[in-house]
Amino acid sequence: MADLLPEERIHGALLIRKKKLALAESCTGGMIGMRITALPGSSEYFDSSVVVYSNDAKSRFLGVPDSVINGPGAVSSECAEAMAVGLLDRTGVDYAGAVTGIAGPEGGTPEKPVGTVWIAWGSAGEISTELLKLSGDRAAVRKSAATALLERLAQLVVR
C-alpha cells in the first residue's frame, strides 16, 4: 500500500469505512479536490472542496473569524485550523483538510516568504496543523502543498 499515491490510499480507506471527506483550499485552488475526484468511485466518500482564495471567502464560507484574518493572518496555523473546523461544522463530514499559503511568485514577506504554507487536517475535536516551508516556482509550491495535505489525510484515514 506504500507504493500507492496518497489519494489512492484515502480512496481505499474511505470506501471501506464509508466515511466522508471535504476540503478547503486556498493556494492550491482546487488541485487537491481534482486529485481526489480523478479516481472513479470518489463520489461515494468525497463531499466537497471549497476554494476560498480571498480572506472574505474564508470568513464567509468557513466562518474564519476576523480576529484570525486581522491577527495572525490568512497564512497561519490559526487560519488553517479555523478553515478545517468551519468545514467540519458546515458539512458534517468525518474528515476535513485545509490548506492556505503563499505560492508566489509575489506576496511573500520577510516573516512569511513565498513557499510558506499551513495545512490542517482531522476530524471533529482532533485537528492537526503543520507549517510547510516549500521551495520552487508557483506550480511546485502548489503541487507540494497538495501532496503534503493528501499524505497527512492518508495517514489519518488509514490508521
How far is Cα 54 from Cα 43, in angstroms, rounded to an integer?
Answer: 27
The per-residue pLDDT string of the chain (159 residues; one tens digit each, 9 = 90 and over) reads 569 999 999 999 999 999 999 999 999 999 999 999 999 999 999 999 999 999 999 999 999 999 999 999 999 999 999 999 999 999 999 999 999 999 999 999 999 999 999 999 999 989 999 999 999 999 999 999 999 999 999 999 998
Nearest to 45 by CA among 157, 156, 155: 157
| 10 to 7, 36, 158: CA distances (angstroms) | 5, 8, 7
CA 110, chain centre distance (Å): 24
What is the full DSSP assignment across 69-105?
HHTT-SSSHHHHHHHHHHHHHHH--SEEEEEEE--SS
**How many CB atoms are located within 10 Å of the residue 21 CB?**
27
User: Helical H runs in the chain?
Assistant: 6-17, 31-37, 55-62, 66-70, 77-91, 138-158
Structural domain boundaries in the chain = 6-158
Which overall architecture, per CATH, does domain 6-158 show?
A: Alpha-Beta Complex (3.90)
